[in-house]
């Protein structure tokens, strides 16, 4: 079964600083990989996704993520954080081989705090 680990429960960065959120997955092959963001009191919004091809993926709001097969990682990055990026971030994996309703498995989330 697939699984996702987000080792950082809580991260604090200063506005304007760079950001990297870690995500490690466990799966026998290359899964589908996603990053979602959840603002307080809201549902989850898709930031970016990886299926195959170029290992560096660009998303919305200036985020990017890099798939590293050798490390089973899919870390999320942003070169300069804005105060509005304060939210909870979830990494998720999907099984490419399940056909129709592909279930996503989510990590436990990383809460990002941005200081001014």
Beta-strand relationship, 10-14 and 110-115: parallel
DSSP-based three-state secondary structure for 77: strand
Site mask for other proteins (CB under 8 A), range 6-35, x = bound: x--x----------------------x-x-
Of 111, 94, 114, 95, which Cα lies nearest the Cα of 37? 111
User: Per rule CB under 8 A, is residue 112 in the interface with other proteins?
Assistant: no
For other proteins, the closer CB: 15 or 22: 22
CA distances (Å), origin 70, targets 57, 66, 91, 101: 17, 12, 18, 28
Site mask for other proteins (CB under 8 A), range 65-104, x = bound: -------------------------x---xxx--xxxxxx
User: Per rule CB under 8 A, is residue 45 in the interface with other proteins?
Assistant: yes
For other proteins, the closer CB: 72 or 106: 106
DSSP 14-41: ETTS-EEE--EEE-SS--EEEEEEE-TT
Site residues for other proteins per CB under 8 A: 6, 9, 32, 34, 36, 41-46, 49, 51, 90, 94-96, 99-109
């Amino acid at each position: 079964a697939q699984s996702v680990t987000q080792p950082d429960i809580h991260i604090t960065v200063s506005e304007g600083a760079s950001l990297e959120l870690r995500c490690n997955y466990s799966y026998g092959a290359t899964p589908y990989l996603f990053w979602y963001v959840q603002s307080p009191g809201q549902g989850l919004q898709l930031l970016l996704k990886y299926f195959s091809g170029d290992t560096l993926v660009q998303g919305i709001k200036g985020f990017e993520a890099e798939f590293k097969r050798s490390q089973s990682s899919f870390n999320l990055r942003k070169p300069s954080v804005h105060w509005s990026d304060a939210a909870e971030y979830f990494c998720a994996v999907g099984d490419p081989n399940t056909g129709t309703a592909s279930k996503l498995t989510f990590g436990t989330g990383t809460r990002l705090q941005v200081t001014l």
